[in-house]
Amino acid sequence: MALVQSLFGTTDALNQAFCRRISTLLKQGIEENGRASLIVSGGRTPAALFGALSQVPLAWDKVDISLADERWVDPSDDASNEKMVRAKLLINHAAAANFIGLKTSATNAEDAVNTCTANFSDVAKPFDVLILGMGEDGHTASLFPCSAQITQGLDIDSEQMFIAVQPTTAPNQRMSLTLPALLKSKHIFLHLTGESKKDVLAKALADDNELEMPIRAVLNNTRVELMWAP
Ligand SMILES: O=C1O[C@H](COP(=O)(O)O)[C@@H](O)[C@H](O)[C@H]1O
């Protein structure tokens, strides 16, 4: 495990430094491969970062952006991660990026696993940049400890890219990248704000039961850079 900790005094300082890191990595990916990929998380934490990132001048038309997970609701629903990304990130300069949403017309996310996988076939892999969040229960992406699908989602030997997840302690069925798919990233960031998330991370680092706190499965298997501010 290698957790590199970048701790900032304010969210503004965090967002400025994070934007610089992300844009440098995306530029590198474009220089090396012609295109770059940025996989982001949803929820509340990334909104301010996305606002700052959208204003960074970059060859966004050569960047594929998608989500590590999605809540299985209509993209017009306030709970939709896609809705948040469209409103906060795919604006200003970043409006030129190619966005691949996860939500399909399928009523049940289980019926959309193959479509999501096929839709990702043109996204540059390994992903250049993956930004993960973490819930108070230690879930990351939508790999929820409470779900019946958690063992399958954390199976490091699985070749499955996506998994449909039904959390029992959070609303909405989900679509999530699996652990092995998340790990196929060149640079993984864990983006957290607030003291309580810091406490959750400390709890995650104090033990290694991955089924209890799925973020441990990422931390135990690869290098992760923590980007934190109060
Ligand atoms: O449900 C989700 O939760 C996590 C954490 O969200 P936050 O609101 O605490 O920042 C998020 O990373 C994930 O993408 C989202 O679907």
Q: pLDDT tens-digit profile of 59-92?
A: 999 999 999 999 999 999 999 999 999 999 999 9
Of 74, 69, 72, 217, the closest CA to residue 138 belongs to 217
Question: 73 — phi, psi (to 5°)?
Answer: -125, 165
The answer to whether the CB of 135 is under 6 A from ligand 1 is yes
138 CB near ligand 1 (under 6 Å): no
Count the domains in the chain.
1
CATH number, domain of 81, equals: 3.40.50.1360
**Any bridge partners for residue 92, and if so which?**
none
Q: Is 171 in the pocket of ligand 1 (CB under 6 A)?
A: no
Residue 69 in contact with ligand 1 by CB distance below 6 A: yes
Nearest-atom index, ligand 1, CA of 197: 9
Report the pLDDT averaged over residues 208-222.
97
**155 vs 137: CA distance, rounded Å:** 19
Boundaries of domain holding 94: 2-229
Q: What contacts 55, CB < 8 A, 6 or more positions away?
A: 92, 93
Q: How far apart are CA 199 and CA 194, in angstroms?
A: 9
Question: pTM surpassing 0.95?
Answer: yes
Q: Give the pLDDT of residue 124.
A: 87
Q: pLDDT tens digits, residue range 150-198?
A: 999 999 999 999 999 999 999 999 999 999 999 999 999 999 999 999 9
CA of 185 to the centre of ligand 1 (A): 19
Residues found in the chain: 230
- Comparing CA positions, the residue from 185, 187, 175, 194 lying closest to residue 224 is 187
Whether omega for the bond prior to residue 126 falls within 30 degrees of 0, making it cis, is yes
The ipTM is 0.99
Measuring from atom 3 of ligand 1, which residue has the nearest CA? 43
43 Cβ below 6 A of ligand 1: yes
Q: Is the CB of 193 under 6 A from ligand 1?
A: no
